[in-house]
Amino acid sequence: MKIYKPRFIGAIISILLANPILVCVAHSEDKNPGVDLKDIGLRSSYTKCLDDSGGVTFSLLNCNAAEFKYQDYRLNRVYKSLSQTLGAKDMSLLREDERKWIAYRDSYCSADPQSGTASDVDSIGCKVEQTARRANLLEARLHK
């Protein structure tokens, strides 16, 4: 077992802070290697905001909050459009599926209370990505 000296840990932390996108999407990259964030509907302004944040937690949280608000609006808009095309039985199934998905997303993206603010940034970044993916799924269903 190799023991890392503190200077190496400091170097790793410096690299992460210098690359805020690594921190924000680490959760998604671990589970979805090679994912292109634009392919899942995230705006380029989100990536720019993350790049411009300088790794400052408050700024990263603001970037993620703004993109989450947009992706949640997008999801709600497509959900409403889809619901207008469904009969009562299919609408009931969609509503149930959506409730299950929300519970899944919130559990999957939950922050580790022992990990501090980095976990908060990771958690909201995960929710942004998962919400964008869900909006894509419902958009595909709507345009079927």
Q: Burial level of 47, CB count in 10 A (0-12/13-18/19+)?
A: middle
* pTM: predicted TM-score of the whole model, two decimal places: 0.74
Q: Both tokens of residue 54?
A: 């300088």
Under the banding of pLDDT at 50, 70 and 90, the label for residue 4 is very low
Q: Does residue 26 have a pLDDT over 90?
A: no
**Which tens digit of pLDDT belongs to each residue from 42-85?**
999 999 999 999 999 999 999 999 999 999 999 999 999 999 99
Q: Does residue 116 have a pLDDT over 80?
A: yes
Residue the block writes with tokens 């400091």: 10
d(CA 71, CA 57): 21
pLDDT computed for residue 35 by the predictor: 56
pLDDT computed for residue 117 by the predictor: 87
Mean pLDDT within 107-121: 91
Evaluate the CA torsion angle 92, 100, 36, 80 in order and state its sign: positive
